[in-house]
Amino acid sequence: MKGQVYAIISGVYAALGAMFGKLAMTSHEAIDLCTDILVLSAVADPHVPCNNWGLWLRIAAFLLMVTMNTLMFVVLTKAFRFCSTSIEATITSAAANFLFTGILGKGLFGEEVTGVWWLGLVFILCGLMLLHHTNAAKEEARKPGTLPKKKEKLW
């Protein structure tokens, strides 16, 4: 369970890294987000400071992208150590990344999240549950005091 938590955290860091990457690489996204924040804080003319701060916002977003991706790899390495298989950590991290990237994209950038996206998420989560169920059965079989099943002879 501890490995799966690390894998989910890793996926969240990956989604945050992608979000900051989008802000760093597209000037209009950074300026639009700055303007939205200043409008919410009731600044008289939010366009003036955002146009002046645009480059600095993009540099900060780039540094945050690098930081989030570094944290993602550090936490994913911990997930590999605590999960029973590396594929379990990888798929859990990818599923969390997929989910949180969609949420951030919709919430911050107004991106469309279609039915196909939700269907894909359902398939990923079903595969993850199947993988977890299989690993749990293997762990149960490995517990001390349980005898392995006898193999049947073919001839």
pLDDT tens figures, 92-151: 999 999 999 999 999 888 888 899 999 998 998 898 888 877 766 666 666 666 655 555
pLDDT: is 147 or 7 the higher one? 7
User: What residue type is assigned to position 80 of the chain?
Assistant: F
Show me where the domains of the chain are located: 2-137
Please state the separation of Cα 72 from the chain's center in Å: 9
List the helix and strand counts (H, then E) for the chain.
5, 0
pLDDT: is 102 or 42 the higher one? 102
Q: Summarize the chain as % helix, strand, coil (round to 5).
A: 80, 0, 20
pTM of the model: 0.77
